[in-house]
Amino acid sequence: MRPQHPSPMAMAKKLVRLLRPRHPDYLYLKKVFQHTRTLLRVKPGKGKKRLPELLTDEELVAFYEAVWHTRQPTHMVMIKLLLFTGVRNAELASVRVKDVDLNNCQLRIEQGKGEKDRYVLFPKTFRGELAQYLGVQKKAGATYLFESNRCQPYSTRRVRQIIKQYASVAGIEKRVYPHLFRHQVITYLTKKGIVSPKLQLLSGHAKEKSLAIYQDLALSDVAGAYEEAMRTFPVR
């Protein structure tokens, strides 16, 4: 007879009692559970992948207009970076002021998914707006690109809340969340003819078997195709 496991919630409470005194952050917890799965030799299940319900161009414009009308620079820059770069929520929250390269229109992502550092592109048309915001952050002595009033980096939960709030204001009934924008821009760039391995380089979605391709492909090789594609992106 197989032993019965405690409920997931009960097990979670046990772990909380153990971890709470150490005040772990998101990345630390992510590593803990990653190593736990490895040590227990737990392999991910092969569930069916569901395609996300993307926003139409009209919905995307309506969403950003809801953001724009608030005149909240932090939210405007944050959401544009999600839309333009396709970075993951946790990656965005970890971006520091010094990670922004205005000259080359690049954003450095440190220790992203797969524990790899990489760079992502943003359009040249966004450089002026980002430079203005960056100047304000530098003047305030900020470390992270997006910080709360307590000078702490925005949490991934807070980013989700902000996006959900604007989706509601825009009257969008679809589920809108940070990772949806990643799907949105990757789908858009694919339609514009940017395919692997260039698309994998832009998105940081490389698999181990494809790593050899990247040895001879620099981000600068992709910049022209990316810039051309983003000229007609619904949000400017």
Q: Is residue 235 part of a domain?
A: no
The alpha carbon of 128 is separated from its chain's Cα centroid by a whole number of angstroms, namely 21
The strand order across the sheet containing 100-101 reads 100-101, 106-109, 118-121
Q: Is residue 12 part of a domain?
A: no
pLDDT of residue 212: 41
Domain of residue 212 covers 57-230
- Indicate the SS3 state at residue 144: strand
Q: Is the pTM of this model over 0.85?
A: no
Cα-Cα end-to-end distance for the chain: 61
Instruction: Kindly tell me the sign of the dihedral angle through the C-alpha atoms of 200, 205, 209, 215.
Output: positive
Residue pair 145/24 in contact (Cβ under 8 Å)? The answer is no
Residue pair 81/94 in contact (Cβ under 8 Å)? The answer is no
User: If we measure between CA atoms, which residue out of 53, 59, 141 comes closest to residue 97?
Assistant: 141
Q: From CA 193, how far away is CA 127, in angstroms rounded?
A: 24
Q: Is residue 154 part of a domain?
A: yes
Q: Is residue 209 part of a domain?
A: yes
pLDDT of residue 62: 95
The alpha carbon of 193 is separated from its chain's Cα centroid by a whole number of angstroms, namely 22
Q: Is residue 117 part of a domain?
A: yes
**Number of compact structural domains in the chain:** 1
Q: Cβ contacts of residue 32 below 8 Å, gap of 6+? A: 19, 24
Q: Is residue 170 part of a domain?
A: yes
Radius of gyration of the chain (CA): 20
pLDDT in tens, the chain (236 residues): 455 667 888 888 888 898 888 888 888 888 888 888 888 888 776 655 566 788 999 999 999 999 999 989 999 999 999 999 889 999 999 999 999 999 999 999 886 555 577 888 899 999 999 999 999 999 999 999 999 888 889 999 999 999 999 999 999 999 999 999 988 888 888 787 775 555 666 666 555 444 343 334 456 767 888 888 888 888 87
**CATH number of the domain enclosing 158:** 1.10.443.10
Q: Is residue 37 part of a domain?
A: no
pLDDT of residue 227: 86
Helix (H) or strand (E) holding 119: strand 118-121
User: If we measure between CA atoms, which residue out of 164, 170, 146 comes closest to residue 235?
Assistant: 170
Helix, strand and coil content of the chain, in percent to the nearest 5, comes to 55, 5, 40
Paired tokens of 92: 């965005």
Q: Is residue 20 part of a domain?
A: no
